Amino acid sequence: MVTGSGRELIERYVQAESDRDWDLLKAMRHADWVEAWPQSGEKIVGNDNWRQVHENFPAFPEFHFGRVEGADPTYVMSPAFTLVRLSGVGDAWVVEGVNHYADGSTYHVVKLVELRDGKVHAETTYFSPQSDPPEWRAKWVEHLEAADRDHG
């Protein structure tokens, strides 16, 4: 079991992923850990499969972690990743961010994290490429400023 609050565990977990600290990630994961990727219809079962996916991921971005707290958060930037928001309580947490890949593409990421027995038990990660809005709904929406779009 990893000690500390759920928030501290998630902060350490995101940092371990940022550092690509495979052994620490494995230690922080429950024995029956899984990660679902609903948009592609995939589920990674077990830490060893996750590690292989990420070690073999073409042009995987470097993650950088920063602390985001309070009613007026400060956004943390890096060339590859912006942590937008970390929120939750108890055993249910949400990590929101923006990935910037080497090919110039930008993806918005939301990760739902479930804890069990003081470890990360399950994750559901949604990622979607940034896109232009369709014209048909233009009269009913406002456009986000570029800074807001890139940082949540």
Domain ranges across the chain: 6-131
Average pLDDT over residues 55-79: 52
| pLDDT value for 47 | 95
To 5 degrees, how large is the angle CA 17–CA 113–CA 74?
Answer: 65
- 150, 106 Cβ separation under 8 angstroms: yes
| pLDDT value for 57 | 75
Global pTM value:
0.77
| pLDDT value for 5 | 86
Distance CA 42, CA 52 (A): 15
**Residues 6+ away with beta carbon under 8 Å from 16:** 24, 25, 28
- Residues 25-66: tens digit of each pLDDT: 999 999 999 999 999 999 999 999 999 998 887 765 555 444
Which token pair is 74? Answer: 């400060």
For residue 87, the one-letter residue type is S
- Residues 83-135: tens digit of each pLDDT: 788 999 999 999 998 888 777 888 899 999 999 999 999 999 999 988 888 99
The CATH number of 6-131 is 3.10.450.50
**Residues 6+ away with beta carbon under 8 Å from 145:** none
Q: What length is written for the chain?
A: 152
- Residues 8-31: tens digit of each pLDDT: 999 888 888 877 899 999 999 999
